[in-house]
Chains A and B, each alone.
Chain A
Amino acid sequence: MREKLNWFHVAVLVYMIEFDVTAFSLARVTAENIGTNGWFALVLTSMAASINIFLYWAVYRIGKGQSFFQIMESFVPRGPLVPAYLGLAAFWVLLGSLIGKNFVIVSQMLSFQSTHPMYIFLLYCLLVYAMLVKDLYSIVKATTVFFLLSFWMNALVPYFLSDWKAVRLTPFLFQGSERAHSLQGWAEVFTAFVGYELCLFLFPHSDRKTKLFRGVLLGHLLISAAYVTTVFVTYGFFSFQQLKELQFPLINILEYLELPFLNRLENLVFMFFLFSNLVTTVMFCFASLSTLRHVFPRAKGKTLETVIVCLVFASGFLTKTVRESDEMLRALYFTEMAIAFGLPLLLIPMAYFANRKGRGIEA
């Protein structure tokens, strides 16, 4: 029997999926789009994401743990669904790839400036491949290790308190943003939390003992707490106007770290972000892989995995500059958000009717 996940594993996984490149610029994104005390916007968007998670819980409950594909196909014949599946699979590959490529581009600001970015991305893709060829349970085990390697960074927060001043937070709420408040602005803040929707693909790997949604919610709340704390600290550490100017406030704040025997510590710390981005890419590829497996159940060996990783690498050629990468990634995140909210809204009624139909046959 295949090993089932534990809620703790699920929490770690969701934490690591949501934790990605958006973290570097998050404080600026909130300042630009929301304004003063933009950290509070994260609390609100995190709550919105929790509601979305609740919708997935509804899918799980109503569908009695059936997988995404089972629910879909109980309603629509498989044939017409295949193009949609392929589209989704391609989209997730693209998203996972560009998250990884964005990380490479950002990391090259700090080190390996003269190496070809696609070469570094190739190494990244090898790591993705090494994880993807394993089953989900092994991916999760590796993720747990990666989680420990990156979670400790939250313990750095007290270091910044000596230069943190509450007075810099200002008493104004959501004032002075670059642009007028808009749905797009809020959506951009929300992109930080994209990733929890992949819990849909954990349905087949969990049973009642897993307590899947306890894990998903816990992971989401944990990363929300980490993000809110980090951004809150950043707002009192930098001045508001400065935050809007800094490309990657998180890297700037890490630059301030110094030990008596070592300075410029951020170069070391930065590398730990590799793991969180790696897990994000791997899990989007995993979603894609699950979909492709369903479409091509007779694919041999590691063919699908190899194809996916090759596509990830190829998609890396799409972006070369920070601007391109940010623009494309933003568009992809917005699409992913629409998918994240759209899928459960589609699946809940399907699962409900599929259930009734199922009962009718039984009776």
Chain B
Amino acid sequence: MKKLPLLLAAIVLSGCSDQKIIEKVGFTRTISFEKAEDAEDGRIKVSFSLPKTTQKESIFYSTEARSMRQARLIFDRQNDRRIVNGQLRQVLFGASLAQEGIWKHFDSLLRDPSVGNRVHVLIAEGDVAQLLNKKYPQGSTAGEYIDNLIRTETKVMDVPDTNLYTFARDYYDDGIEPVATILKETPNSIIIDGIALFRGDRYVARIPPEDKMYFGLLLGGVRAGDLFLDFPDERYSSELSTLLYFASRRNVKVTRTGPIMDGLGLKVDLRLTLRGSMLEYNGDLHLERPEDQKKLEAEAARYVQGKCESIIATMQEAKADGIGVGQYVRNTMSYREWKKLDWPEAFSRAKIDVHVEISIKDFGKIQ
């Protein structure tokens, strides 16, 4: 009986064989996939970026391989620490690779239990490896910089937080298509350059960065957005104004006006309500007058409506329902009808109207 504690200790302590000592592992922060220069036998260019312990610099590996794992085996042969994916924060797909479809590579990320599902999914324009391997004046490493940038931007919800979870969720859902944020390198920064619309796993169209807020409105539920309204012509009595800290709500109503199978008998009303502060205004209206305030609200609504409609036109042309109208259409149909419906096709032909209502909470410190 006296030997029992000894035996127990022997058993329990031998558990220390499976260790991961933090100084002896290399944490991948960013993985990127892009087209290889000569894309023979399905090879792509895979790059890994691992921050050094100082967090100021990173180690960068890049190679041509057929999959992420194959590339990692090559990097493992070079790196003095064991590479692990547990702290992966973002994956970048080159735009031209994304146009051909990314699911093959996406699958190996989803399958890996060590990769969390909050990893940002981003599309990068230009040379992705170069974007990742550059030093930026924003300090820290490119990986850290991107992570912070996306986190800050998605706080206001105008850029959807596109991560492994949302991308896979919308990819599998037959009533919505996935979207992803686009990044681009500038001489001294990385900039968000719009939103990529997907059909299935292919990148098919792009929402320009100036319009990303309108896309956010259409997607629903902006929490604290900023909207710069640059009234274009004489049809508006104002030049420009900026709506700040606004919150939005979206309401989708689907009515069937005829046979639905070709999408023509489908009418969708998107009702957007915005409420925020107007903290910048140039124009002829006298904002101290309630009737002018109302006029401004109506003008702003008209402006937003026009923008949203042009985004919907872009999406319809690309047959990419990135805002999930299909989920609501699905709700009005029987299962058999829905399964028969070719939603991307029907979406491209559906009549989608946007109705915008803006209420301005206050006009700042001056009347």
Which residue of B has the minimal Cβ distance to A237?
A: B169
With A167-B327, A176-B335: A263-B118 Cβ-Cβ less than 8 Å: yes
Whether B327 pairs with A255 at a CB distance below 8 angstroms is: no
Inside 8 A of B185's CB, which chain A residues have their CB? none
Whether A112 pairs with B116 at a CB distance below 8 angstroms is: no
Interface residues of A in 243-295 (CB under 8 A from B): 245, 251-252, 255-256, 258, 263-264, 266
**Interface flag for A318 (CB, 8 Å):** no
The 8 Å CB contact of A256, one of B15, B118, B175, is B118
Whether B327 pairs with A168 at a CB distance below 8 angstroms is: yes
Tell me the count of chain A residues lying within 8 A, CB to CB, of chain B: 35
Interface residues of A in 157-198 (CB under 8 A from B): 163, 165, 167-168, 170-172, 175-176
Inside 8 A of B175's CB, which chain A residues have their CB? 167
Beta-carbon contacts of A110-139 to B below 8 Å, as 1s and 0s? 101111000100110010000000000000
With A122-B11, A176-B335: A255-B169 Cβ-Cβ less than 8 Å: no
The 8 Å CB contact of A245, one of B12, B117, B172, B330, is B172
Taken together as a complex, chains A and B put the C-alpha atoms of A167 and B250 apart, in Å, by 13
Inside 8 A of A115's CB, which chain B residues have their CB? 15, 17-18
Tell me the count of chain B residues lying within 8 A, CB to CB, of chain A: 34
Whether A175 pairs with B116 at a CB distance below 8 angstroms is: no
Whether B170 pairs with A239 at a CB distance below 8 angstroms is: yes
Whether A171 pairs with B331 at a CB distance below 8 angstroms is: yes
Instruction: Output the residue of A119, A172, A175 with the most chain B CB within 10 A.
Output: A172
**Interface flag for A154 (CB, 8 Å):** no
Which residue of A has the minimal Cβ distance to B330?
A: A170
Whether B335 pairs with A256 at a CB distance below 8 angstroms is: no
Inside 8 A of B324's CB, which chain A residues have their CB? 167
Whether B173 pairs with A168 at a CB distance below 8 angstroms is: yes
**Interface flag for B54 (CB, 8 Å):** no
Which residue of A has the minimal Cβ distance to B88?
A: A264
**Interface flag for A238 (CB, 8 Å):** yes
Which residue of A has the minimal Cβ distance to B324?
A: A167
Taken together as a complex, chains A and B put the C-alpha atoms of A215 and B87 apart, in Å, by 44
Whether B172 pairs with A242 at a CB distance below 8 angstroms is: yes
The 8 Å CB contact of B173, one of A119, A163, A242, is A242
Whether A172 pairs with B11 at a CB distance below 8 angstroms is: no
Whether B14 pairs with A119 at a CB distance below 8 angstroms is: yes
**Interface flag for B5 (CB, 8 Å):** no
The 8 Å CB contact of A123, one of B11, B17, B86, is B11
Which residue of A has the minimal Cβ distance to B18?
A: A115
Inside 8 A of A238's CB, which chain B residues have their CB? 169, 172
With A255-B117, A256-B117: A242-B328 Cβ-Cβ less than 8 Å: no
Inside 8 A of B15's CB, which chain A residues have their CB? 115, 119, 123
Whether A263 pairs with B328 at a CB distance below 8 angstroms is: no
Inside 8 A of A266's CB, which chain B residues have their CB? 116
Taken together as a complex, chains A and B put the C-alpha atoms of A245 and B107 apart, in Å, by 11
Which residue of A has the minimal Cβ distance to B174?
A: A241
Which residue of A has the minimal Cβ distance to B168?
A: A242
**Contacts A171-B331, A172-B335, A237-B169 supplied; 12 other A-B pairs, CB < 8 Å:** A113-B18, A163-B166, A167-B175, A170-B330, A239-B169, A239-B170, A239-B172, A239-B173, A241-B174, A242-B168, A242-B173, A245-B172
* Between-chain CB contacts (< 8 Å), 23 pairs: A110-B114, A115-B15, A115-B17, A123-B12, A167-B327, A167-B328, A168-B173, A170-B331, A172-B338, A237-B169, A238-B172, A239-B170, A239-B173, A242-B169, A242-B173, A252-B117, A252-B165, A255-B116, A255-B117, A256-B117, A256-B118, A256-B165, A263-B116
- In the A-B complex, the 7 residue pairs with the closest CB atoms: A239-B173, A242-B172, A241-B172, A175-B335, A115-B18, A172-B335, A167-B327
